[in-house]
Amino acid sequence: DSRISSLRTKLDICVKGDAVPDPIMCFSACGLPEKLVHNLETAGYCMPTPVQMQVIPASMSNRSLLVSADTGSGKTASFLIPIIAHCSQVRSQESTSNQGPLAIVLAPTRELCLQVEEQAKVLGKGLPFKTALVVGGDPLPQQIYRIENGIELIVGTPGRLIDLLMKHNVDLTYVSVFVLDEVDCLLERGFRDQAMQIFQSLSQPQVMMFSATLHSEVEKMSNSLAKNVISISCGNPNR
Ligand code: ADP
Ligand code: MG
């Protein structure tokens, strides 16, 4: 459709892949829970940013994604919004809520994990959506206790999460979304094998990878994690 492609050009969005869903122009356009739309308004998110316009509908159609966009373009909410929508949908259908996490976000540093978890709490407020932070510096038993008590999302660094999973049996059966945030930095820090190890303990999750830059190592990683990936890049096209 030429209207959609000129819209993407206007928004500086470039997509590659089969049957890429159309971008959305507002948060209420793709069936998000009312409470989540309300939380977005309260947070001052009046309109989706360009990366969110394309990533949210693509993610909500359960496709695996490789996304590159500048720092500050709103990538965090672009994966948190579909995750929160998914989790509250699953939990509202279940009779029991304590069946293990539904999503995992890996980020390269403790600080980044803290930021992601903070935003997740703000956007998921009042919904059946609890988070566990799995990073160094906080006591492991407390992190385990929190997971045991029932959470939807784990946000962690790869090393610490592996450490926790080796010491404690966490049921990962229901993890259907796996996010690698700042994947370029994850690879630079040598987290590739640990991220792969965590991925291999999941059963065919939707994979979403985010990066400020796209280089061959990032694309290689993407190819080893998912098939039929949609590649989305926003902003500077000569990256
Ligand atoms: P990135 O991960 O792409 O570097 P962030 O996700 O950290 O960027 O977002 C940068 C800032 O923009 C954050 O302070 C976030 O709260 C804010 N933000 C994200 N989405 C929106 C939006 N739709 N409207 C207004 N502010 C937003
Ligand atoms: Mg980010």
pTM of the full structure: 0.96
Tell which atom from ligand 1 comes closest to the C-alpha of 27.
23
Q: How far is the CA of 115 from the centre of ligand 2 (A)?
A: 9
Phi-psi region of 61 (alpha: psi -120 to 50; beta: other; left: phi over 0): alpha
Other C-beta atoms within 10 Å of 128: how many?
A: 18
Mutate to test the pocket of ligand 1, among 76, 118, 211 (most ligand atoms within 8 A of CB): 76
Instruction: Give the C-alpha separation, 56 to 48, whole Å.
Output: 9
Residues 6+ apart with CB under 8 A from 167: 140, 144
Ligand 1: which residues within 6 Å by Cβ? Answer: 44-45, 47-49, 52, 69, 71-77
Q: How far is the CA of 51 from the centre of ligand 2 (A)?
A: 12
Whose atoms come closest to the Cα of 73: which ligand?
A: 1
Residues 6+ apart with CB under 8 A from 130: 124, 150, 151, 152, 153
pLDDT at position 238: 47
pLDDT at position 30: 87
Instruction: Give the C-alpha separation, 158 to 176, whole Å.
Output: 17
Tokens, residue 93? 């259908």
Q: Fill in the amino acid letter for 129.
A: F
Single out the residue of 132, 174, 168 nearest to residue 153, CA to CA. Answer: 132
pLDDT at position 239: 47
Q: How many residues does the chain have?
A: 239
Q: Fill in the amino acid letter for 107.
A: A
Nearest-CA residue for ligand 1 atom 17 is 74
DSSP characters for 36-47? HHHHHHHTT--S
Sheet holding 206-211, edge to edge: 13-16, 230-234, 65-68, 206-211, 177-180, 103-106, 153-156, 131-134
What ipTM was predicted for this assembly?
Answer: 0.99
Mutate to test the pocket of ligand 1, among 27, 37, 42, 45 (most ligand atoms within 8 A of CB): 45
Single out the residue of 198, 215, 216 nearest to residue 207, CA to CA. Answer: 198
Nearest-CA residue for ligand 1 atom 12 is 74
Nearest-CA residue for ligand 1 atom 15 is 74
Which residues does the chain have with pLDDT short of 50?
Answer: 237-239
pLDDT at position 98: 62
Q: How far is the CA of 71 from the centre of ligand 2 (A)?
A: 6
pLDDT at position 13: 96
Whose atoms come closest to the Cα of 179: which ligand?
A: 2
Q: How far is the CA of 3 from the centre of ligand 2 (A)?
A: 30
Instruction: Give the C-alpha separation, 215 to 157, whole Å.
Output: 22
Q: How far is the CA of 180 from the centre of ligand 2 (A)?
A: 10
C-alpha 48 chain-centroid distance: 16
Tell which atom from ligand 1 comes closest to the C-alpha of 45.
24
Residue with tokens 């948060």: 27
